[in-house]
Amino acid sequence: MSTRIRALLAAGCFMLLTGCASARTDAASFSEAKASSEASFSAGNAAVQAEAASEGTLTQADGYSISVITLLRTKNKNVRYLRFSGFGDEAAQKKWNDFYADAAYAAVGKAVSGDEIDDRFQVKTADASLISVYQENEYYFAGAAHPFTDVSTLNIDPETGVLKSLPTECDTAALAKDILAEQGYTITALDGEKSEYLTLDEVKNMNGITDEASLTALLNGFDLPADEKSGAVPDGWSYWEDGKVNLLFSVSHASGDWVVLHMDGSYRLSS
């Protein structure tokens, strides 16, 4: 993953979750960028302001809803964020709404004029006990030969707002065992397409996987940290769809930056 993509991700998605010194140092510049962005929207043309205020409901389930807000839409920048409503815990709802809004403002604040940004959201699961959201971001940095794609997910309890990360919810050792045995999953590109170039060897080589122990350790670093205190970028991401867990592994840019292992089961730990 490019340095600039990691910078955008760290500045946005993890600003609210990190307690490290580097994030505190960056807080002032982030606030300035957000204030500058807000001021430009207020002084900008009416069309952009109208887009920033528009909403579209992605899903409604069990008393809550998830909407997408367009923060900025221009010829080469489409920046949006999610808004939750109807959570059982209003403080948790505000935290995750701020999480997405601040990440969007950070992306706008750090992009330069020649950069292109396009982000998309999908709700993979929405029921009484789990919200599983997938975000895909495509970046084209001025002067780069090709665009880069980055992904992130959020898995939370809509009643409490508590994170449900892969290592807290799933048997990662069982996952590692089946993956290395090349059973119980299908590997595809982000768009769901299969390819002879998308192989387990590619995943292993790009992620330093040598055995079950190393893969288990990698899976234990997936998703936002359950303690919400680490400033580290996750080693990968997961989401649940139709009761099954899906794993997002980083791969080479030539292979599409990320691949998905669609597991045949949930691998959920017994409660």
Helix (H, G, I), strand (E, B) or coil at 89: coil
Look at residue 97 in the predicted model and tell me its pLDDT: 95
Q: How far apart are the first and last CA of the chain?
A: 36
Look at residue 162 in the predicted model and tell me its pLDDT: 93
Give the whole-angstrom CA distance, residue 42 versus residue 70: 15
**Residue 56 confidence class, pLDDT cut points 50, 70, 90:** confident
User: Is the confidence at residue 173, as pLDDT, over 60?
Assistant: yes
Between 3-12 and 21-43, two packed helices, what is the crossing angle to 10 degrees?
A: 80
For 235-252, b/e burial (b = at least 16 CB within 10 A) is bbbbbbeeebbbbbbbbe
Look at residue 57 in the predicted model and tell me its pLDDT: 77
What CA dihedral angle connects 119, 120, 124 and 130, to 10 degrees? 50
Q: In the chain, pLDDT over 70 holds for what percent of residues?
A: 77
Look at residue 226 in the predicted model and tell me its pLDDT: 65
Give the whole-angstrom CA distance, residue 258 versus residue 248: 6
The residues with which 79 forms a beta bridge, in sequence order, are 72
Look at residue 41 in the predicted model and tell me its pLDDT: 41
Phi and psi of 228, rounded to 5°? 55, 25
Express each pLDDT in 228-262 by its tens digit.
655 668 999 999 999 999 999 999 988 999 999 99
Express each pLDDT in 104-126 by its tens digit.
988 888 777 778 888 899 999 99
Give the whole-angstrom CA distance, residue 235 versus residue 233: 7
Q: What is the pTM of this model?
A: 0.80
Look at residue 6 in the predicted model and tell me its pLDDT: 42
Give the whole-angstrom CA distance, residue 233 versus residue 230: 9
Query: Among 28-42, 67-81, 125-139, which range has the highest average pLDDT?
Result: 125-139
Averaged pLDDT of the chain? 80
Q: In the chain, pLDDT over 90 holds for what percent of residues?
A: 55
Express each pLDDT in 191-222 by its tens digit.
999 988 899 999 999 999 999 999 999 999 99
Tell me how crowded residue 129 is: count the other CB atoms within 10 A of its CB: 11
Sheet of strand 258-263: strand arrangement: 185-188, 258-263, 244-250, 237-241
Structure tokens belonging to residue 235: 């080693």
Helix (H, G, I), strand (E, B) or coil at 75: coil
Angle CA(47)–CA(68)–CA(2) in degrees, nearest 5? 90
Handedness of CA 173, 176, 178, 181 (dihedral sign): negative
Alpha-carbon separation of residue 200 from 57, 107, 119, 136 (angstroms): 37, 32, 27, 22
User: Is the confidence at residue 62, as pLDDT, over 90?
Assistant: no
Structure tokens belonging to residue 264: 């045949």
Express each pLDDT in 215-234 by its tens digit.
999 999 999 986 665 566 89
